[in-house]
Amino acid sequence: MDTTSLPGKELAAAINADTKQRAAALAEQGAAPRLALVVANDDPASAWYVKSLNRAAERNGITCENVDLGVDATIEQIRAKLTELSEDASVDAIMLQTPLPKGVNLDDVSSAIAATKDVDGVSPLSLGLLASGLPTFPPATAEAVVELAKFHAIPLAGRHVAVVGRSNIVGKPLAQLLLAENATVTVCHSRTTDLPAVTSAADVVVAAVGRAGLIKAAHVRDGATVIDVGTNEDDNGNITGDVDAPSVTGKAAALSPVPGGVGPVTTALLMRHVVDAAQSARA
């Protein structure tokens, strides 16, 4: 069986083109969208991602401000800054980078981000609104999975989707987004008994657990669609996914690549969310 690739670059380009046009319209009114990136770590991967977001914002006509709180920032300091930015009318969108300082969990501080500015959907309020089917910003990576499937005409309604991973960033919100598309969803995790038996019964498998090469041929039925959300670093410093691509190729009908699949769509959606937030604030 030929396995079709599901790249995200064309979709990302289309999203960015619309985002750039809308950002330009706001700028002409003297109100260019403004994103605040809050960082409290010295993690190289996070630094790379922040630079990537800065470049994406610049390409799309979005003003991006990096707010570095330092690796020793406390829960109180992080919450205070997030509250300050939430109350600042000149800031349209807020993103809090991870990892956070030792002893600080995302749950400790994310509730300080106003839902209207929470463009990556990390606060409890944003996640609650999503679960309730109410308007909010979903986590961009989770949304990217659904948008990538739609772009490549992968049907979701009525189909069985197995999501491997239950994080608040991808797994749980993705389950809510898939339910909204009328999919039948199974969420798998480290305690799932006989994971291959569960995933191989699904029409679509989404790997979002953060373990390189976890999903192999035994986890996938013939003709299934596999979407790989993983971004792991191998021994050579290369980015690799949660799916053992060589093993799955020839068995799955379609597979998203890593890199170049979900990743570029995620970044494009974040930029779209920033402009959405800016337009809502000026409405």
Mean residue pLDDT of the chain comes to: 96
Global pTM value: 0.96
Dihedrals φ, ψ of 43, to 5°? -75, 125
Instruction: Name which of 164-173, 230-239, 256-265 the model is least confident about.
Output: 230-239
Q: Cis (ω within 30 of 0) for the bond into 7?
A: no
pLDDT of 45 strictly over 90:
no
Extended strands (E) in 149-252: 160-164, 184-188, 204-207, 225-228, 232-233, 239-240
Was 225 annotated as part of a binding site? no
Q: What does the pLDDT read at residue 235?
A: 84
pLDDT at 217: 98
Mean of pLDDT values over 127-137: 96
pLDDT tens sequence across 54-79? 999 999 999 999 999 999 999 999 99
Segment 174-184 mean pLDDT: 98
CB distance 161 to 186 below 8 Å: yes
pLDDT of 182 over the 90 cut: yes
pLDDT of residue 169: 93
**Percentage of residues in the chain with pLDDT exceeding 70?**
100
Query: Does the pLDDT value for residue 238 go beyond 90?
Result: no
pLDDT of residue 236: 85
Q: State the pLDDT at residue 158.
A: 98
Question: Where do the domains of the chain lie, and which CATH numbers do they carry?
Answer: 31-116 (3.40.50.10860), 140-263 (3.40.50.720)
Among 41-50, 220-229, 242-251, which stretch is predicted with the lowest mean pLDDT? 41-50
Residue 59 assigned ligand-binding role: no
CB 53 within 8 A of CB 16: no
Distance between CA atoms of residues 272 and 270, nearest Å: 5
> What is the rounded distance in angstroms from the CA atom of residue 262 to the CA atom of residue 9?
9
Asked if residue 231 belongs to a known ligand binding site, the reply is yes
Would you say 165 is a known binding-site residue?
A: yes
- The predicted pLDDT at position 135 comes to 95
Alpha-carbon span 161 to 224, nearest angstrom: 10
User: Cα angle vertex 63, ends 61, 65, to 5°?
Assistant: 150
Per-residue pLDDT of 86-129, as tens digits, reads 999 999 999 999 999 999 999 999 999 999 999 999 999 999 99
Q: What is the mean pLDDT of residues 236-257?
A: 95
Residue 214 has pLDDT above 90, yes or no: yes
Mean pLDDT of 187-196: 96
Residue 218 has pLDDT above 90, yes or no: yes
